Chains A and B, each alone.
Chain A
């Protein structure tokens, strides 16, 4: 068990919103992934990866793309 997914998603979306200074989704996703890799404990990264894998996961397209890069 680790930090609950809701909070991680909220944090992830917040990071995504703040990285969204260009319309290029791929650039934003790469920046978000870099940030998560650099500052999130691997357990938090694993937890959001597991959450994203769920069928009913509610994630923005960009954050989902970022998680795929982890």
Chain B
């Protein structure tokens, strides 16, 4: 089977597609063509197959009309209008070629080239340079003016940014980079300084790129038509000769990329203009941080050892698999069938995740399978399933462009979902209202051309109180959409909920002292949300990772139903998924109580379908969740675990408890790229594959299934799915697949929402949002259009129950955690790239008043202590956090952020309460005891790795 989806050069039609639907007929160089109203002459010509020369125009940006190269003649109009800024009208007759036009373009090009280095041959962009192409197109052979006059050839090159360089001597000041930074990214880091001949592109206040506001999204680099802004990989290693479309393996936006390679060597990743999730945009992670895939730290040979005090031994795949299977079977023989389990990863593909849960149910014979979504979005599953009937976001990302008011709750899109964050900012610049509900002043609260109408800066842990107060306001002020409620929702449940929410205890005034949000501000926000024609809610882990995460998700769904903001574009309830395949890993049944497609094990019909297909008997009772596995391991009831691509020793809360659990187990199998923190407690290491080495699919936060396509062979020699299948066979359950597409076909056979999905259809359509079935053969953009998946919407009562993690005299501050743009999750990937240069260590943000009373200075060491543990971080004294609140990230293992977080969790799903930990902070001069222990253990394990590599002897 042919798996590659190789593509040629990306076509650029010059200006963006028109949103118009009415067609008009125009004639271009004698050829009639029908195009949408609002289409530019340049785009119409390109659609007709005619290339008009251009430099400042690109399909990714609004027409600008500055380069004057794209001039055309239009019958009945005087002069030579720019084709990029001229829209077609019915019966327009255009001529793109004439002697006069040729002369004009030639003259324009001659001026450009008169101040441009004539070093095409050694230039790294040679052969892939629009300026060069256009010079050829207009037939420029020589420049009459000479090169002795004033020019920019001596301007120094700025190499400060890690991934690209800026050589102003090659710049033609077309402003594509400036416009890309504004229109696509929304950072406004670039500008044109000076006028006329003195015009120069500068970053921020003429700073080096690394010191400027630039976020290294790469939009300017892609936009540049010359070699002025160019990837360092291309400069150093040369130009690619092939491209493959694949899907980014970082956050839940799921950007589509052209992986441009030469042979097996990936030279650059360029965002795909046709990508349905990203429309040609990218961020610093997806665009540039792929070097981890070939980092020397990659482990590519299987390894085993008897105990974690032993050196690793490199062995063959057969020996590693046999060792792992023997150990697992032996544990089951001694402690019982349910004494082992598996953890799936949201970083792996749907097919790989599906296979691991199948392995646990079929080969291990139990339901002890859980996914890392447990610790992020499991409350979304519970909350949305309960209220709306489906565990998924309701919209496509593009829906935001139809929103009149956007409410962002506990989500930081510009850091954690940057490409969607840019799209949201685009809509905000167009005038949409913005409500931010967050304990911190995230970028969206105040950034260039974006300002939140209301920032409800609540105290951590009071989400449900705030959402109840919003709903109370809407009810008490008569702003609810009665027709929608009457038609679409369960009347009895609504009346119960309405009675509950109307109680005075849920009013903004009654809750003000609890939430810290002024009642009038909250009421104004409720009015803004409820009165907008289209209002949408976007939420993240600041909603789910609480003791009432599930309640809050239900509260959000209630709010949307109450105001009729579901079932069309511009509205909805949108969970922002953290990792690339959180949605997929949940869809694929890697929960201990559910089969693929969110069907509870106790339901006979789906269970029997799987039993028949897999030829096994499935236990109808749930297994252990991840936190249950840890607790049971410490108590001696859980002895072995197959951990696929997750680093629970770093990412899960209460690190010391996790370490105790891992230490208590007799067989830990880690499948990963690197010797991560969890692998230091493992007995079997099965090398994994980066996304560049695999075929499969990821499902992003908008339910969009996209293909992941292999661009290089697995460095370890086996695909991850093949390893799982081999382990399963060694455990006594044979799996019969020749390719991941066959796993995808099995998923489609057994899962109604995936019934119409196949690799062939994905190749045709590019991507598909599930449900994809007979009713929606090309997928579903917006869910719950005419009715909710569960039939009538269910208003779930949401009593506010304060968390046990409250500040007190011993721990007077509240610590909350989050992410930063340049690093990803536990940092295993991004720490092995130049992204390290942006964020070398995790810092703790502390308000100036809290810092001052404690004698903590900016940049000094701070001890952070909770009832769970203690760690030391460097202080970032800032007003981004409110007084009484600390904030940190967990991208570096030695930071020990999760040494401090506790075992408190969401009542319904056990999703950890990462967002609220009562702590004390104090100045210190040395790392914590845990950090000292971490350093010793890390050194010991690195030594055991080095000592054992190269030995091929099996332990007795």
Question: Residues on A close to B: CB < 8 A?
Answer: 1-4, 7, 11, 14-15, 17-18, 20-22, 35, 38-44
4 new A-B contacts at CB < 8 Å, known A39-B908, A43-B632:
A15-B908, A17-B907, A18-B550, A18-B908
Report the minimum CB–CB distance from A51 to chain B (whole Å). 13
Report the minimum CB–CB distance from B766 to chain A (whole Å). 37
Residue pair B548, A18 in contact (C-beta under 8 Å): yes
Contact of A41 among B600, B622, B903, B909 (CB under 8 A): B622
Report the minimum CB–CB distance from A24 to chain B (whole Å). 11
Contact of B637 among A17, A39, A43 (CB under 8 A): A43
Q: B631: CB under 8 A from chain A?
A: yes
Residue pair B637, A2 in contact (C-beta under 8 Å): yes
Contact of A43 among B338, B496, B500, B903 (CB under 8 A): B338
Residue pair A41, B592 in contact (C-beta under 8 Å): yes
Q: Which of B732-767 contact A (CB under 8 A)?
A: none
Q: Which residues of B contact A4 (CB under 8 A)?
A: 631, 635
Q: Which 7 A-B pairs have the closest CB atoms?
A: A21-B797, A3-B631, A14-B907, A18-B907, A17-B801, A2-B637, A21-B799
Residue among B624, B628, B632, B636 having the largest count of chain A Cβ atoms under 10 Å: B628
Report the minimum CB–CB distance from A47 to chain B (whole Å). 10
Q: Which residues of B contact A39 (CB under 8 A)?
A: 593, 622, 625, 908-909
Q: Which residues of A contact B637 (CB under 8 A)?
A: 1-3, 43
Contact of B621 among A14, A17, A41 (CB under 8 A): A41
Residue pair B622, A1 in contact (C-beta under 8 Å): no
Report the minimum CB–CB distance from B370 to chain A (whole Å). 11
Say what secondary structure dominates the interface of chain B: loop
Report the minimum CB–CB distance from A14 to chain B (whole Å). 4
Name 29 interchain pairs, CB-CB below 8 A, sorted by A: A1-B635, A2-B632, A3-B632, A3-B635, A4-B635, A7-B631, A7-B903, A11-B905, A11-B910, A14-B801, A14-B907, A17-B799, A18-B551, A18-B801, A21-B797, A21-B799, A22-B797, A38-B622, A39-B593, A39-B909, A41-B338, A41-B368, A41-B592, A41-B624, A41-B628, A42-B621, A42-B622, A43-B338, A44-B628
Residue pair A1, B636 in contact (C-beta under 8 Å): yes
Q: Which of B761-798 contact A (CB under 8 A)?
A: 797-798
What is the number of contacts between chain A and chain B, taking CB atoms within 8 Å? Answer: 67
Residue pair B797, A3 in contact (C-beta under 8 Å): no
Q: Which residues of B contact A14 (CB under 8 A)?
A: 547, 801, 907
Q: Which residues of A contact B908 (CB under 8 A)?
A: 15, 18, 35, 39
Residue pair A3, B907 in contact (C-beta under 8 Å): no
Question: Residues on B close to A: CB < 8 A?
Answer: 338, 367-368, 496, 500, 547-548, 550-551, 592-593, 600, 602, 621-625, 628, 631-632, 635-637, 797-799, 801, 903, 905, 907-910
Contact of A2 among B367, B621, B635, B801 (CB under 8 A): B635
Cα distance A22–B551 in the bound complex, in angstroms = 15
Residue pair B632, A40 in contact (C-beta under 8 Å): no
Residue pair A40, B799 in contact (C-beta under 8 Å): no
Cα distance A18–B907 in the bound complex, in angstroms = 7
Q: Which residues of A contact B367 (CB under 8 A)?
A: 41
Residue among A14, A21, A35, A44 having the largest count of chain B Cβ atoms under 10 Å: A14
- Which partner residue on chain B sits nearest A8 by CB separation? B631
Cα distance A35–B636 in the bound complex, in angstroms = 25
Q: Which residues of B contact A17 (CB under 8 A)?
A: 799, 801, 907
Cα distance A14–B798 in the bound complex, in angstroms = 14
Cα distance A29–B649 in the bound complex, in angstroms = 36
Residue pair A41, B623 in contact (C-beta under 8 Å): yes
Cα distance A32–B909 in the bound complex, in angstroms = 13
Cα distance A11–B908 in the bound complex, in angstroms = 9
Cα distance A24–B575 in the bound complex, in angstroms = 33
Report the minimum CB–CB distance from B798 to chain A (whole Å). 8
Q: Which residues of B contact A15 (CB under 8 A)?
A: 907-908
Cα distance A20–B909 in the bound complex, in angstroms = 17
Cα distance A44–B548 in the bound complex, in angstroms = 21
Residue pair A38, B600 in contact (C-beta under 8 Å): yes
Q: Which residues of A contact B551 (CB under 8 A)?
A: 18
Report the minimum CB–CB distance from B102 to chain A (whole Å). 74
- Which partner residue on chain A sits nearest B796 by CB separation? A21
Report the minimum CB–CB distance from A13 to chain B (whole Å). 9
- Which partner residue on chain B sits nearest A16 by CB separation? B907
Residue pair A18, B799 in contact (C-beta under 8 Å): yes
Residue pair B500, A21 in contact (C-beta under 8 Å): yes
Residue pair A20, B799 in contact (C-beta under 8 Å): yes
Cα distance A1–B633 in the bound complex, in angstroms = 10
- Which partner residue on chain B sits nearest A42 by CB separation? B621
Cα distance A3–B593 in the bound complex, in angstroms = 18
Cα distance A39–B574 in the bound complex, in angstroms = 25
Cα distance A3–B624 in the bound complex, in angstroms = 10
Q: Which residues of A contact B624 (CB under 8 A)?
A: 41
Cα distance A18–B793 in the bound complex, in angstroms = 20
Cα distance A18–B621 in the bound complex, in angstroms = 23
Residue pair B602, A38 in contact (C-beta under 8 Å): yes
Q: Which residues of A contact B547 (CB under 8 A)?
A: 14
Q: Which residues of B contact A41 (CB under 8 A)?
A: 338, 367-368, 592, 621-624, 628
- Which partner residue on chain A sits nearest B803 by CB separation? A14
Cα distance A2–B903 in the bound complex, in angstroms = 17
Residue pair A38, B635 in contact (C-beta under 8 Å): no
Q: Which residues of A contact B799 (CB under 8 A)?
A: 17-18, 20-21
Cα distance A15–B908 in the bound complex, in angstroms = 7
Cα distance A1–B550 in the bound complex, in angstroms = 30
Cα distance A34–B910 in the bound complex, in angstroms = 16
- Which partner residue on chain A sits nearest B500 by CB separation? A21
Q: Which residues of B contact A35 (CB under 8 A)?
A: 908
Cα distance A43–B908 in the bound complex, in angstroms = 18
Report the minimum CB–CB distance from B490 to chain A (whole Å). 15
Q: Which residues of A contact B625 (CB under 8 A)?
A: 39
Residue pair B628, A3 in contact (C-beta under 8 Å): yes
Cα distance A24–B628 in the bound complex, in angstroms = 30
Cα distance A20–B798 in the bound complex, in angstroms = 9
Report the minimum CB–CB distance from A49 to chain B (whole Å). 14
Cα distance A52–B910 in the bound complex, in angstroms = 22
Q: Which residues of A contact B801 (CB under 8 A)?
A: 14, 17-18
- Which partner residue on chain B sits nearest A40 by CB separation? B622
Cα distance A14–B910 in the bound complex, in angstroms = 11
Cα distance A15–B600 in the bound complex, in angstroms = 19
Cα distance A4–B852 in the bound complex, in angstroms = 42
- Which partner residue on chain B sits nearest A15 by CB separation? B907
Q: Which residues of A contact B600 (CB under 8 A)?
A: 38
Cα distance A40–B601 in the bound complex, in angstroms = 12
